């Protein structure tokens, strides 16, 4: 490892340590906000692992998230909680592999529409199954507190960063960057593009399902409209793009301001959250096409150029 | 000397797009260390033939074999693994990466595979080889036109292919660059590489090719040494059209 890598590692460990101390403040407001930030950091970072290099915009986060939530909701009375979290991860990866095999051969826009449709499809199926069985929703009654959920999510975030860092240094990560640049060149350079994409798509699938499983106890009562809300998929995309999907730490830079803004707006103007989503989307498209990361890079380059002139 | 088993052998390769027969029952062989020119007027099916060999398109019928093993209709990545590498008619580089990584891309997943420091060293050696020594850290956006072609050539060489397909690699170069380009390909030929060259530049064909296959309207109309085929009346007619009288 180089000196720069060791420094990054130490900084990351310190940041993680500080983040893990949040529940000790004893403030419900800060913990709630921290939980949201941790959840979206995990979702947006893992989303960007796949969608960053390939430029395939996935709107399926809610499908995987809801799958994880329901795994815990249906199984927590019979199986130990930890095994359900692991099971959710496996189910998420399997669903992602199936979706990937069916859609990743198609190009961009078909993939976007299919992933959006997938979340809706799963939601409708579960709603239908519940109506057949006469239930409306599921109670998830555990003794897991918000502190525990928060720590789990921080741990999961650490894992996602580690996996992302390893993928970035691996042949798979390199293959995905080539695919993102030119899929034709990738194929003719010897890359099995379909396999590489499916493999990497399984990562955000598994992570989103695990996140859903971890958050199920927080909701106490879950129903399809909550667990599979398409809003979640859009939030994740907007946050990741706002921060910048080209770097591992990019999504975090988008998640923190967006989550705070979202919290503020939904508590003071609860009906205007869609407006925030729309405005953010316009800002990304017109002002920040490469997110905050791109902005930071531009500013840095200008500064170093100016130094070059003097 | 040239009677050894062919590296590539194409038998009856045909490609139809709906009612249009783009490539019609092509037959030819390429032997070891041979530079074969695939020539013909625009739209005669040269690039399509190349695409059938590289796996970019699947033949409608016919067989293509590499050293006796059929590769007909395999996926491009599989054909690359087996040892055929190609450049593209319009240069295709990876815009987000620097020059070295563009070449490493060809070294990591190709016929012979390298990774890490070995792949980077191999890429740098190839960049020297094609005349881009010391430019490894440059972004590809800052390269001149001929340099982008050199990067692409280095990328396809990086996997140590058995057979090299160059699709109009010399097209669009100015006269000075053209001389450099021809010398570069001649140096590949001198290394004993087996190459199929789709080309329009007559000087290049005359000075580089051992044999030529001439296509017109999707079919082979002549085959032989450059001098033979370029004086063939059918070939002249295909390029210049029939006399009106």
β-pairing, B211-216 vs B35-39, is parallel
A184, B88: Cβ pair inside 8 Å?
yes
Q: What value of ipTM does the predicted structure carry? A: 0.91
A190, B94: Cβ pair inside 8 Å?
no
pLDDT at B2: 46
Where does residue A281 rank: exposed (0-12), middle (13-18), buried (19+ CB within 10 A)? Answer: middle
SS3 B98: strand
Q: Is residue B128 part of a domain?
A: yes
Cβ contacts of B110 on chain A, cutoff 8 Å: 189-190
Please, what is the Cα angle at B51 between B73 and A195, to 5 degrees?
55
Of B110, B105, B149, B104, nearest to B130 by C-alpha is B149
Of B239, B172, B224, B242, nearest to B36 by C-alpha is B224
Determine contact, residues B143/B95, Cβ cutoff 8 Å: no
Query: What is the tens place of the pLDDT at every residue in A38-59?
Result: 999 999 999 999 998 888 899 9
Q: Is residue B1 scored above 80 in pLDDT?
A: no
Read off φ and ψ for residue A71, nearest 5 degrees: -60, -45
Question: For chain A, what is the HEC assignment?
Answer: CCHHHHHHHHHHHHHHHHHHCHHHHCCHHHHHHHHHHHHHHHHHHHHHHHHHHHCCCCCCHHHHHHHHHHHHHHHCCCCCHHHHHHHHHHHHHHHHHHHHHHHCCCCHHHHHHHHHHHHHHHHHHHHHHHHHHCCCCEECCCCCCHHHHHHHHHHHHHHHHHHHHHHHHCHHHHHHHHHHHCHHHHHHCCCCHHHHHHHHHHHHHHHHHHHHHHHHHHHCEECHHHHCCHHHHHHHHHHHHHHCCCCCCHHHHHHHHHHHHHHHHHHHCHHHHHHHHHHHHHHHHHCCCCHHHHHHHHHHHHHHHHHHHC
Going along chain A from its start, the domains and CATH numbers come out as: 3-258 (1.10.3470)
Q: Is residue B202 part of a domain?
A: yes
β-pairing, A221-222 vs B6-17, is unpaired
Q: Is residue A145 scored above 90 in pLDDT?
A: no
- A-B CB pairs within 8 A amount to 64
Q: Is residue B125 part of a domain?
A: yes
Query: For B95, which of A181, A188, A192 is closest by C-beta distance?
Result: A181
Q: Is residue B192 part of a domain?
A: yes
Q: Å from B95 to nearest chain A CA?
A: 6
- Structural domain count, chain B: 1
Q: Is residue B3 scored above 70 in pLDDT?
A: no
B86, A188: Cβ pair inside 8 Å?
yes
Q: Is residue B38 scored above 90 in pLDDT?
A: yes
Distance of alpha carbon B59 from alpha carbon B23, whole angstroms: 9
Q: Is residue B82 part of a domain?
A: yes
Q: Is residue B131 part of a domain?
A: yes
A188, B76: Cβ pair inside 8 Å?
yes
Q: Å from A187 to nearest chain B CA?
A: 5
Give the pTM: 0.87
Q: Is residue A142 scored above 90 in pLDDT?
A: no
Mean pLDDT of A212-237: 90
Q: Is residue B8 part of a domain?
A: no
Average pLDDT, chain A: 88
Mean pLDDT of B229-234: 88
| pLDDT interval class at A110 (50, 70, 90) | confident
Q: Å from A243 to nearest chain B CA?
A: 19
SS3 B153: helix
Q: Is residue A199 scored above 80 in pLDDT?
A: yes
- Residue B112 lies in domain: 33-59+74-214+223-240
Interface with B, mutate which of A186, A188, A194, A195 (most B CBs under 10 A): A188
Q: Is residue B118 scored above 60 in pLDDT?
A: yes
Report the CATH number at residue B183. Answer: 3.40.50.300
Q: Say which DSSP state B72 is in.
A: T
Q: Is residue B37 part of a domain?
A: yes
Distance of alpha carbon A160 from alpha carbon A164, whole angstroms: 6
Query: What is the tens place of the pLDDT at every residue in A63-88?
Result: 999 999 999 999 888 999 999 999 99
| pLDDT interval class at A232 (50, 70, 90) | very high
Q: Is residue B245 scored above 60 in pLDDT?
A: no
Distance of alpha carbon A193 from alpha carbon A186, whole angstroms: 7
pLDDT at A144: 85
> In chain B, which residue's Cα lies nearest the Cα of A184?
B56
pLDDT at A310: 42
> In chain B, which residue's Cα lies nearest the Cα of A178?
B94
Query: A interface toward B at CB cutoff 8 Å?
Result: 171, 174-175, 177-178, 180-182, 184-193
């Amino acid at each position: 490892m180089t000196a720069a890598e060791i420094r990054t590692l130490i900084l990351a460990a310190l940041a993680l340590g500080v983040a893990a101390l949040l529940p000790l403040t004893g403030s419900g407001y800060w913990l709630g906000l921290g939980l949201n930030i941790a959840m979206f950091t995990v979702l947006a970072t893992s989303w960007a692992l796949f969608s960053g290099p390939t430029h395939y915009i996935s709107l399926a986060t809610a499908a995987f998230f809801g799958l994880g939530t329901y795994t815990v909701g249906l199984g927590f009375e019979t199986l130990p909680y930890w095994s359900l979290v692991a099971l959710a991860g496996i189910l998420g990866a399997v669903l992602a592999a199936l979706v990937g095999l069916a859609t990743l051969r198609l190009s961009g826009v078909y993939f976007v529409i299919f992933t959006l449709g997938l979340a809706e499809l799963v939601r409708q199926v579960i709603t239908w199954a519940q109506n057949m069985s006469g239930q409306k929703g599921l109670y998830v009654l555990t003794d897991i507190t918000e502190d525990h959920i928060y720590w789990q999510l921080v741990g999961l975030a650490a894992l996602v960063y580690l996996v992302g860092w390893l993928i970035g240094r691996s042949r798979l990560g390199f293959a995905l960057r080539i695919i993102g640049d030119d899929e034709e060149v990738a194929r003719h350079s010897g890359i099995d593009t379909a396999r590489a994409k499916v493999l990497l798509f399984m990562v955000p699938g598994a992570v989103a399902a695990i996140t859903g499983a971890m958050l199920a106890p927080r909701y106490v009562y879950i129903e399809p409209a909550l667990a599979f809300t398409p809003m979640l998929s859009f939030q994740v995309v907007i946050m990741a793009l706002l921060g910048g999907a080209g770097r591992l730490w990019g999504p975090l830079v988008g998640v923190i301001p967006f989550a705070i803004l979202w919290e503020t707006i939904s508590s003071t103007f609860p009906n205007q959250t869609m407006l925030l989503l729309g405005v953010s989307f316009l800002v990304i498209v017109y002002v920040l096409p490469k997110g905050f990361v791109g902005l930071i890079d531009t500013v840095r380059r200008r500064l170093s150029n100016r130094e070059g002139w003097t | 000397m040239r009677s050894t088993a062919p590296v590539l052998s194409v038998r009856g390769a045909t490609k139809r797009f709906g009612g249009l027969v783009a490539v019609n029952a092509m037959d030819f062989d390429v032997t070891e260390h041979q530079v074969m020119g695939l020539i013909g007027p625009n739209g005669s099916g040269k690039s399509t033939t190349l695409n059938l060999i590289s796996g970019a398109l699947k033949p409608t019928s016919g067989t293509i074999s590499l050293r006796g093993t059929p590769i007909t209709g395999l996926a491009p990545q599989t054909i690359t693994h087996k040892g055929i590498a190609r450049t593209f008619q319009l240069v295709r580089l990876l815009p987000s990466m620097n020059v070295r990584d563009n070449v490493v891309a060809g070294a990591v997943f190709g016929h012979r595979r390298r990774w890490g420091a070995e792949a980077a060293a191999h890429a740098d050696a190839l960049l020297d080889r094609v005349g881009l020594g010391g430019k490894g850290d440059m972004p590809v956006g800052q390269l001149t036109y001929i340099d982008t072609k050199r990067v692409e050539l280095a990328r396809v060489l990086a996997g140590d292919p058995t057979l090299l397909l160059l699709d109009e690699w010399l097209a669009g170069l100015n006269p000075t660059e053209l001389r450099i380009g021809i010398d570069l390909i001649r140096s590949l030929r001198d290394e004993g590489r087996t190459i199929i060259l789709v080309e329009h530049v007559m000087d290049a064909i005359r000075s580089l090719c051992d044999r030529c296959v001439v296509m017109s309207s999707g079919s082979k109309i002549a085959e032989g040494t450059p001098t033979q085929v370029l004086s063939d009346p059918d070939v002249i007619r295909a390029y210049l059209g029939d006399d009106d009288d």
